[in-house]
Structure 1
Amino acid sequence: MRWGDMDAYGHINNVQIVRMMEEARIAAFGPPRGTGLPGVEPEVGLFNEVPDGTLALVVDHKIRYVRTLEYRNVPAVVQVWIGAVKGASFDIHYVVQDPVTREDCVRASSHLAFVDADSGRVLRLTPEQKERMAPFTF
């Protein structure tokens, strides 16, 4: 959490929660291909091991704010896992917890799809991609 992430009420602004979700997603599953190497190897190279010309795009987010996440001078705890895996899309789920109390503050999910950069068409998930996701699917 950063000082600038707070809003006028002293808790982390909802817009910054989406940024935290993105950072957790990239830390867990790798940066999109072509954006450089991660500082730390992800648990599973999902986004950085797609074919050239493939984009990993967020289709939508669902966010439930359970309680306010107060500013702390330490990182929040974010649990990340893969939910439903469909033919051409998949969900990533998050629980954001207060780093001091460990109380759940946010429960959220992102629906993603791989898209062909040239045509804009959604690509079906390959058996290899589904296999890579399997250990992180709950």
Structure 2
Amino acid sequence: MGAFVADVPLRWSDMDAFGHVNHARTVTLLEEARVELLFTEAGRQGLLGMAEGMVVARLAVDYRIPVAHSAGTLQVRLSVRDLKSASFVIDYSASTSGSAEVATAETVMVPYDLKAGRPRRLTSDERTFLAEWQLTLAASEAGHDHA
């Protein structure tokens, strides 16, 4: 299919001393986009388990160009890959309107049972939901998105 698209507003508090969005705040903005997918969109589809426990096992960010607060909104495209029984990867591509890609990132996500205090397996419904956001080669080359 395609990417999930989240528009995340930039706040004055996201800026650093140089007038750009701080690198650590960029990670928070990516997290807000991830919450839109895993908690909000999943909840709309009746899947509440991910909101009850999902942890980041790994995070990698590549910053391409600085983001000015005046950009207003960061558009984040999220797609899923390496969907396994107890983990998956989310790829991020962030841009501002009228600009090239400002950052790319990936997180390895692990579903977590907070009560038991340990990782858990994805349910079949969660796997089906996540599979909706896997990019196919044809869709990524054509630039089609799923919103």
Query: 1:48: how far off?
Result: 5.3
Amino acid aligned to 1:20: L
Q: In structure 2, do the counterparts of structure 1 residues 47 and 70 end up closer, same or farther at CA, with 3 Å as the change threshold?
A: farther
- The answer on 1:81 being equivalent to 2:79 is yes
Structure 2 CA distance for aligned equivalents of residues 18 and 120 of structure 1: 25
Which residue of 1 is the match for residue 141 of structure 2? none
Which residue of 2 is the match for residue 39 of structure 1? none
| Cα displacement string for residues 25-58 of structure 1 (whole angstroms, at most 9, x for unaligned residues) | 1122325xxxxxxxxxx2x338952189x51111
- The answer on 1:18 being equivalent to 2:15 is no
Amino acid aligned to 2:23: N
Which residue of 1 is the match for residue 4 of structure 2? none
Which residue of 1 is the match for residue 103 of structure 2? 106
Where do residues 113-128 of structure 1 align in structure 2 (5 Å cutoff)? 113-128=110-125
Q: 1:2·1:73 contact (CA, 8 Å) conserved in 2?
A: no
Pairwise CA RMSD: 2.2
5+ long unaligned stretches in structure 2 = 1-9, 136-147
Where do residues 35-74 of structure 1 align in structure 2 (5 Å cutoff)? 42=41, 44-45=42-43, 49-50=48-49, 54-74=52-72
5+ long unaligned stretches in structure 1 = 32-41
Give the % identical residues: 26
Q: 1:114·1:122 contact (CA, 8 Å) conserved in 2?
A: yes
Q: In structure 2, do the counterparts of structure 1 residues 9 and 114 end up closer, same or farther at CA, with 3 Å as the change threshold?
A: same
Alignment length (residue pairs): 125
Q: 2:94·2:102 contact (CA, 8 Å) conserved in 1?
A: yes
More helix by share: 2
Structure 1 CA distance for aligned equivalents of residues 102 and 50 of structure 2: 36
